[in-house]
Each structure stands twice: as structure tokens, then as C-alpha cells.
Amino acid sequence: MAIVGSGPGCLDNEPGFVDSFDVVVRISNFKLTPETGGRCDVFYSFFGDSIRKSVADLRRAGVTLCMCKCPDAHAIQSRWHEERRRMKGVDFRYIYERRRDWWFCDTYVPDTATFLEKFDLLGGHVPTTGFAAVLDILDCDPAHVYLTGFDFFRSGIHNVDERWTFRNADDPIAHDPERELQWLRGQALRLPITFDKRLNWIMQHGDIPPPVSIDAFMARAVEIGGEGIFRRSALKVADGAQHIEHILRGGRRHIVEIGTFRGVSTAFFARFAPRVTTIDLRHGQVERMYPNHNRRAFWSGMGANNIDMHLVRNEQQKVDLIAGLDFDFAFVDGDHRMPQVKHDFDAVKRCGTVLFHDFDPEHPNGVTEFVKTLPTNEVEVMGIFALWRGRYGR
């Protein structure tokens, strides 16, 4: 399922992508556009005074379930709120009194204990509506959650394109987006969750990302690595970058790459996952062809600080390394001889999604020969790439 937050990152999606998920959850004053999608199955909100969505709006969007952040209770005891007569921040019964006749579909309302679990998780701070939605959806044990439109208010924008201002800085239980981000960082690799490009960058670096277009990436790579940096790169041939971006547009948890070469595709993969592991031979082609090329320095210049590189001595060391990894996408671009391609595929196929580079029926090689042994209904060909999605995925 997809959870669409209120940050501007939701505008970076390809038209139709968000709506391709089985369930789409939207938050508070959501806006429907080609990029953010056109439907809403689940509407999550705190349902307070600032929520402008009408029953007619939600029915038109397709809402069949409402989920409330707050319990119908005086949930939090706070002297600060009592002294300032700001009880709406701790006593949520007014919401349900005002909306007594408003509810139009099945509606989830948490009990006080469930709400306070989130409050305590954040060290005594009320969760933002978006973060509460993430926690409640994860409690439903989904197979996969794609987060888009979350930047933990670093952009200063909410409701997609409206200015957001932090108020009541002295409120002792006010929202704390930094705590929320730190929790997500700490839990990301063990959760069935992926992120849009902006949030993936924030998870790694903590700040607003630079331009995320392919052209901006290419220009930066040339600036760091020189004019020849894309020579023999999977990104530059036959719209390689566009194909990879399309495949990975929903993000991944952990990408494994076999065949690092100069590390350009590795840096590109780093835009789509919190962790990338790339594997190559200790004395491979780069050492022979570009002895002065420093892959780690290149990645640092590209802002790709989420890459683990392993240079192995032999095939068995590579297999043993991969056996100890938990990953959900693999890119095979190593030795192109047919037995070796099969060997690499067997090592990574348990992730369920494998992308092969240099599939070329017009000029057959070991990649082409091996891919043709796979069931045709499990393989999608895109230019010189072959994407396998198969029955081995966990």
C-alpha cells in the first residue's frame, strides 16, 4: 500500500504510480493531482478544526475507511494546557462531539492506551498526523508500505503546497518531527517500507535533497568524475538511467549490485534505498583500466553515503557474503559469461527481483543466453535490460 503525506515530495511521483498500489492512504487536507494520484481508499486524520475535507470530497475520492489519530477521550494530563486553557491539545472529545453526525463509512478510533503508546514512543510528544498514520498502518501488518510526501517538515510545506509554520514552541508535548525521523531511521531496515527519493535522501543526510532529476545527477557525475565517467556505464546506454528510475520508482530497502566498475550506477541506486551493497573483485577491471579512480571519493562527492563496497578475492567469498544479506533487489552486471551469470543469479534470486544489464539478442552474450532460460512470463525486457520477477522472492 501507499501512504501519501502532505509534503511536496508526493509531487515527484510518475502519474499513475501511486494509484497502482492496492490500497492508497491519504492524510488530512490531501490534494489529488496526476503525480499524487486520483484516489483515496483510506482517509487518516486528526479530524480537528483545520481539516477541510467534506463528506462529498471524500466520497468522490473513493474513501471507504476513515482512521482517526486521536481517541474520544481526555487522553493527556498537562498543566501547561490547563493553565493556558488550550485543552484541545490534550482532550479530544470535542472532535467527536462536533462530528457526531458526520461519519459516513467504517471508522477506526483508537483507544487511549493505543494513542499513548505513540505518545510514549516519542518521549512524551504528540505524534504528527502523518507519523501516527505510519505507525497505525504498520500495526496492520502490511506486506509493503511505500511512503511519499514525507519530509518531516524540512521543506516548510504541508498540504502539498502550503506554507507550514511551527507554533507553540514552548508547548512541552508539541510535535517533534526530529524524534519521528530518528525512529524511522532506526527501524527502516527491519520494516516492510520503502521511500520516495526525497525521503530516501533525508533518511541518509538529514537535509533537503538537491535536484533529483536524471539530468542533474548526470551533470554532477561529470563534474566529480570527469567527461569519461559514463564510459561503459549502465546508465548512459539506451536510456539506462530512465529504465532504472522507472523500475525503482517505489524505492527499495536494500539493493545489492554485482559488478561495481567505477561506481556510477551504484551512486544512482543510492537515490532509491537506505542501503546499497556493491560487490566486485579485489583486482578487477577498474584497477587495471582506471588505477587512479577512487570510487569512495566519487560517491562522497555525489552525496551517496549509504553504500557498502566489498571487494572479494573469489566467487566463494562473494556467495558467502550475499548469503548473509537481507535485500529486496539485485542488479547483476558482473562477469558476462553464461555460467557466471547463472552463478550470480542463483546467489541473489531469493530477493525475488533481479535486473540484468547487457541483455542483447542482436549480439548474444552470456547474459542473453541465461535470461532466455528463465520463464518468459517472469521476464520483462527494457532496452538492454532484462527484469526478472519470480517465485523465489520471500
- Quick: pLDDT tens for 272-319: 988 999 999 987 777 778 788 899 999 988 888 889 999 999 999 999
Q: What is the CA radius of gyration of the chain?
A: 24
The structural domain count of the chain equals: 2
* Domain-ending residue, one of 154, 182, 205: 205
164 shares its domain with 52: yes
* Average pLDDT estimate for 136-157: 93
Shared domain for 161 and 80, answered yes or no, is yes
Q: Report percent pLDDT > 70 for the chain.
A: 97
Judge whether residue 180 has pLDDT over 90.
Answer: yes
Contact 189, 140 (CB under 8 A): no
Give the Cα separation of 212 and 251 in Å (integer).
14
Distance of CA 90 to the CA centre of its chain: 32
pLDDT tens digits, 356-386:
999 999 888 999 999 999 999 999 999 899 9
Q: Which residues pair with residue 194 across a beta bridge?
A: 146
- pLDDT tens by residue, 33-91: 999 999 999 999 999 999 999 999 999 999 999 999 999 999 999 999 999 999 999 99
> Which grid cell sits at 138?
504498520
Of residues 263 and 289, more confidence is placed in 263
Per-residue pLDDT at 165 exceeds 80: no
Q: Are strands 307-312 and 379-382 parallel, antiparallel or unpaired?
A: unpaired
Instruction: Please give the pLDDT value at position 73.
Output: 97
- Among 184, 205, 226, the domain boundary falls at 205
Report the C-alpha gap between 170 and 18 in whole angstroms. 38
394: pLDDT confidence band, cut at 50, 70 and 90? very low
What is the rounded average pLDDT of the residues 220-225?
91
Domain boundary among 205, 238, 254: 205
In one-letter notation, the amino acid at residue 124 is: G
Res 141: pLDDT: 96
Reported as type and span, the H/E element at residue 289 is helix 285-289
Give yes or no: residues 369 and 303 share one domain: yes
* Residue carrying the nine cell digits 567469498: 317
Residues 130 and 270 in one domain: no
- Show the domain range for 260: 214-389
* pLDDT score recorded for residue 208: 59
Q: What is the DSSP letter of 126?
A: P
Tell me: do 75 and 220 sit in the same domain.
no
Does residue 221 share a domain with residue 142? no
List of E strands, 77-192: 106-108, 145-148, 157-158, 162-163
Whether 260 and 363 map to the same domain: the answer is yes
* 250 lies in the same domain as 275: yes
Q: With b meaning 16 or more CB within 10 Å and e meaning fewer, what string describes 226-253?
A: eeebbeebbbbeebbbebbbebbbbbbb
How confident is the model at residue 156, as a pLDDT?
81
Same domain assignment for residues 132 and 176: yes
Residue 210 pLDDT > 80, yes or no?
A: no
Is pLDDT at 120 greater than 90 in this prediction? yes
pLDDT of residue 201: 86
Examine residue 310 and state whether it is found in any structural domain, yes or no: yes
Interhelix angle 177-187/129-138, rounded to 10 degrees, is 30
